[in-house]
Amino acid sequence: STGYPFASIEPKWQAYWKENDTFKTPERRTTNEDGTVTKSKNKKKYVLDMFPYPSGAGLHVGHPEGYTASDVMSRYWRMTSHDVLHPIGWDSFGLPAEQFAIQTGTHPEVETKKNIANFKRQLQMLGFSYDWEKEVATTDVEYVKWTQWIFLQLYKMGLASQSEVSVNWCPALGTVLSNEEVINGLSERGDHPVTRLPLRQWVLKITEYADRLEQGLEGLDWPSGTMTAQEQWIGKSVGTEIDFNVDGVDDKKVTVFTTRADTLFGVTYVTLAPEHPLVSSVTTSDQKEEVDAYVTATSSRSDLDRTSSKEKTGVFTGGYAIHPLTNEKVPIWIGDYVLGSYGTGAVMAVPAHDERDYEFASKFGLEVKWVVEPTKKDGELSTEEAFTKAGVNVNSGEFDGMKTQKAKKAITAKLAEISSGGPKITYKLRDWVFSRQRYWGEPIPIYFPIDFPEGVEDSDVDPKVDGCEHTIRFDKPIPVDEADLPLTLPEMEDFSPGDDPAGCLARAKDWRYFQKDGKWFSRETNTMPQWAGSCWYYFRFLDPKNGESAFSPELDEDWMPVDLYVGGAEHAVLHLLYARFWHQVLYDLGYTKHPEPFQKLVHQGMILGSDGEKVRNCKSGYHLEYHSSCINNCLVDSSYQMSKSRGNVVNPDDIVEVHGADALRLYEMFMGPLEAVKPWQTSQVSGVVRFQNKLFNVVKEAAKNDASVEMDEETTKILHKTMKKVTEDIENMSFNTAISAMMVLTNHLTSLKDQVPREAAEKLTLMVSPFAPHLGEECWSLLGHDDTLAYHPWVEHDEALCVDNTVKMGVQVNGKTRGEIEIPKDADQEGAMGEAMKVQSVSNQLDGKDVKKIIYVPGRILNIVAK
Ligand code: ANZ
């Protein structure tokens, strides 16, 4: 058998698809001559890949894994009468291009364009069935325009505002980083030191959508791990708010948030976060020095640090709070285990029933009051540690004897009755800090008036000139007129952030300062984070050339929501949360009819290298956590994440050059279940190459035959079983098992030598085509078709031909297996023995012996006892 000449065949079909617009997205509605509209009768599938960041390194073998999976589904759905939208584009703003620009002086746009061209070449080389007419890049001026337009909608809804935020400022990178981007006080990218700094920032009020973001998850077909991660990120907490008056300070009260109102009688002190606004009013003069020192000492610690350190720290303020039900005085402390940004920034401390409070109280010798006891079946109360489980109330006055749930309700109701509190829902979710002090992002379309000293006229001054005294009125933001969008970036030579936290655009004075109706204004110099562009690209794919609006309502109706979204789990939590937030806002504004953007979500598992950074050390800790079930798998354990520094990155270009695109696609789908973490083994690519060659040769044999070569019974059965299995497996996105089934069929057809029936070869060709589309088209044409198979109806099996009416069973002689027989399922003992005696190894054993007993359970056991 000869090898399959992929090197000439693959480019040929790629050119064919391009020339014939094979993968042009079908119109879902057409306007007839009489003005009526006809809608497509087909079902639709919107198949979306998480679009790549076009890095300088080009595609990584991890990219084609997800892209092949979505391509298989797109191709399969086209063959099963669906209208398919399968677009791709570029998430092309971001730090690396900017860093490269700073180092080399090349404009980030130049580098970005070059990288996009390379990525595009690679994706086309892999034969993905994208509709390239839909291509968009988040850096396209026309795209930026609509990203800015969405920002303005958020602004008009009151969902975008400025605030002084204590941010993670990284001087080396010259930018603010999110909490997730800071690990142990260092930037995730580059390991530079990070400090806390108050900075004016644009903030998007995602918290106003917390409840919707949580509710909306219901009904989505997403991996449970990602669902849980989103839920945890949103962190809905149902509890009670309780007011404590402050002793001797009449107009002030400390409000706490608790999920354990039932433990109210166990409160022995109250703890404020060091940044709590009441700290100075409750602190007595004796304690002031100590309190001030503590507040300063803790101000640089991150929330993560504060909550994760075992050793509790704190100071007494000297002040007291009044218990709302007992009127007892309890001391007010400050402790940094209480976060300023969660709940109310204050807690009622119940050391008997909360571990953190217990540790704190033990350290500072504070009182512990037990107010919940275990129910009888749960055993005795131990006073050696906090009892944090539910139980029965004691020492709680009228609430004694109530079980935890009931006590929570009763105490909350009582507090509401006396106007000292009530039920409250709190979220862990924080508002989204949306400003970046960088060049390579979308300018935020806002400007501010400028004040000059008394008596100075705008016409007399120029704020661009050094030394021109002026004040920018950040408190009076003005949105750019929608008609003036896009607001483009200025040309600059030096893209480095510098040490001005206002960002490098602050130096682009000709861009920043402008006059309108004789008045001077200053533009916002912050840009949007990279997340912005990826929040709505799936909408723009519907309608990438629309100059009038971001996308048309008809196309939204025709194609949304995304039916299948494929991408890595790494970015999942934040990207999906941010995108869903924007989507819900656009939904509220009536721009989309669909409340959620992504109906089904699938993550491809990471592909590991055979050398390099161990997955266990994965910095984000994410893979360890997310794939905890895989970590015990020895393959994963001895494999490593691919990284440039370890030199174990497999480049798709190299694989394609040696084995072809289809081999790479087949290998990536054959490696194992799509979602599993899998090690790359270049040596195993030869397995799928052999399959590809065999399949090609089988088809060549069949192509020589006419209808006189008929399907024998065995071939018919194998074929139908394979068609059933491959169809079901694709539906379940179980691609590796689909490929195995095709391998079995191919081996069988190979054994028929030159007697391969055309029917079998055609069906096999259709089945393999979503996986290996070039091979599929080539075989299809060899079989005499002069049209693409991309829209040919998918194979259909006959259920009756798929059931097995024979069974294979082992034959034992005196309890030892000696051979195997295949007999009809309902064969009787005589029939089974007849077959067994034909098996040489069985008859040899029985030679010269008397059969004493036969144990036969149809389909299960045939044991012959002989002496
Ligand atoms: C009293 C109490 C008694 C509590 C008890 C727990 C057990 P989640 O589920 O995370 O919402 N808490 C409230 N605000 C806090 C803050 N800003 N920083 C740190 N801790 C805070 O947990 C809510 C619980 O976390 C609240 O209930 C409060 O402690 C604490 F036996 O109040 B609890």
Residues 469-527: tens digit of each pLDDT: 999 999 999 999 999 999 999 999 988 877 777 889 999 999 999 999 999 999 999 99
Pocket test for ligand 1, best of 258, 262, 344 (most atoms within 8 A of CB): 258
What's the 320 CA to ligand 1 centre distance in angstroms?
Answer: 20
d(CA 763, CA 430): 54
Q: Is residue 691 domain-shared with residue 780, that is, in the same domain?
A: yes
The answer to whether residue 4 is domain-embedded is no
What's the 313 CA to ligand 1 centre distance in angstroms?
Answer: 17
At 141 the three-state DSSP class reads: helix
Domain count, the chain: 6
Enumerate residues 6+ apart whose C-beta is below 8 A from 489. 439, 440, 443, 505
Pocket test for ligand 1, best of 232, 348, 354 (most atoms within 8 A of CB): 354
d(CA 133, CA 336): 55
Q: How many CA atoms lie within 13 A of 196 on its CB side?
A: 13
The answer to whether residue 458 is domain-embedded is yes
pLDDT value, residue 174: 78
The answer to whether residue 564 is domain-embedded is yes
The answer to whether residue 111 is domain-embedded is yes
DSSP code at position 798: -
pLDDT exceeds cutoff 70 at 636: no
Q: Is residue 773 domain-shared with residue 821, that is, in the same domain?
A: no
The answer to whether residue 39 is domain-embedded is no
Q: Is residue 665 domain-shared with residue 691, that is, in the same domain?
A: no
- The model's pTM: 0.87
Q: Is residue 293 domain-shared with residue 303, that is, in the same domain?
A: yes
Strand partners, 186: 183, 193
d(CA 319, CA 246): 8
**DSSP, residue by residue, 465-512:** STT---EE-TTS-EEPPGGG---PPPP-S----TT-TT-GGGG-HHHH
pLDDT exceeds cutoff 90 at 277: yes
Largest Cα–Cα distance in the chain? 125
At 765 the three-state DSSP class reads: helix
Q: Which domain CATH number covers 775?
A: 1.10.730.10
Q: Is residue 257 domain-shared with residue 383, that is, in the same domain?
A: yes
DSSP code at position 261: G
* ipTM of the complex in this document: 0.96
The answer to whether residue 412 is domain-embedded is yes
Of ligand 1's listed atoms, the one at least distance from the Cα of 237 is 11
Q: What is the helix (H) or strand (E) element at residue 269, kind and residue range? A: strand 269-272
pLDDT value, residue 628: 35
Q: Is residue 88 domain-shared with residue 186, that is, in the same domain?
A: no
pLDDT value, residue 645: 63
pLDDT value, residue 570: 77
The answer to whether residue 152 is domain-embedded is yes
Q: How confident is the model at residue 640 (pLDDT cuts 50, 70, 90)?
A: low
Quick one: the chain helix, strand, coil %, rounded to 5?
Answer: 40, 20, 40
What's the 258 CA to ligand 1 centre distance in angstroms?
Answer: 5
- Both tokens of residue 491? 């040309």
Higher-scoring residue by pLDDT: 624, 394: 394
pLDDT exceeds cutoff 90 at 617: no
What's the 181 CA to ligand 1 centre distance in angstroms?
Answer: 26
Of ligand 1's listed atoms, the one at least distance from the Cα of 388 is 31
Q: Is residue 536 domain-shared with residue 519, that is, in the same domain?
A: no
Residues 68-99: tens digit of each pLDDT: 999 999 999 999 999 999 999 999 998 888 88
The answer to whether residue 254 is domain-embedded is yes
Q: Which domain CATH number covers 95?
A: 3.40.50.620
Of ligand 1's listed atoms, the one at least distance from the Cα of 348 is 1
Using CA positions, which residue lies closest to atom 10 of ligand 1? 237
DSSP code at position 519: E
Domain boundary among 604, 631, 648: 604
Q: Which domain CATH number covers 350?
A: 3.90.740.10
> Which alpha helices (H) appear in 210-354, and where do they start and end?
210-215, 224-234, 279-282, 288-298, 303-308
Q: 811: domain range? A: 806-866
Question: Would you say how long the chain is, in residues?
Answer: 867
What torsion do the CA atoms of 363, 366, 371, 373 make, to the nearest 10 degrees? 30
Q: Is residue 219 domain-shared with residue 197, that is, in the same domain?
A: no
What's the 739 CA to ligand 1 centre distance in angstroms?
Answer: 52
pLDDT value, residue 630: 35
d(CA 233, CA 813): 63
Domain boundary among 636, 665, 680: 680
What's the 260 CA to ligand 1 centre distance in angstroms?
Answer: 8
Q: Which domain CATH number covers 831?
A: 3.10.20.590
C-alpha gyration radius of the chain: 34
Using CA positions, which residue lies closest to atom 5 of ligand 1? 354
Using CA positions, which residue lies closest to atom 27 of ligand 1? 258
pLDDT exceeds cutoff 90 at 42: yes
Q: Is residue 53 domain-shared with residue 180, that is, in the same domain?
A: no
Using CA positions, which residue lies closest to atom 29 of ligand 1? 258
Domain boundary among 495, 523, 551: 523
Residues 379-415: tens digit of each pLDDT: 888 888 999 999 999 999 999 999 999 999 999 999 9
d(CA 618, CA 622): 7
Q: Is residue 296 domain-shared with residue 165, that is, in the same domain?
A: no
Using CA positions, which residue lies closest to atom 19 of ligand 1? 338
Kindly report the backbone phi and psi dihedral angles of residue 501, in degrees, each rounded to the nearest multiple of 5, phi listed first: -60, -10
Q: Is residue 782 domain-shared with residue 820, that is, in the same domain?
A: no
Q: Is residue 350 domain-shared with residue 274, that is, in the same domain?
A: yes
Ligand 1-lining residues (CB < 6 angstroms): 237, 257-260, 263, 273, 338-339, 342-343, 345, 347-348, 350, 353-354, 426
Percent of residues, the chain, with pLDDT higher than 90:
79
Pocket test for ligand 1, best of 242, 244, 263, 342 (most atoms within 8 A of CB): 342
Contact 747, 781 (CB under 8 A): no
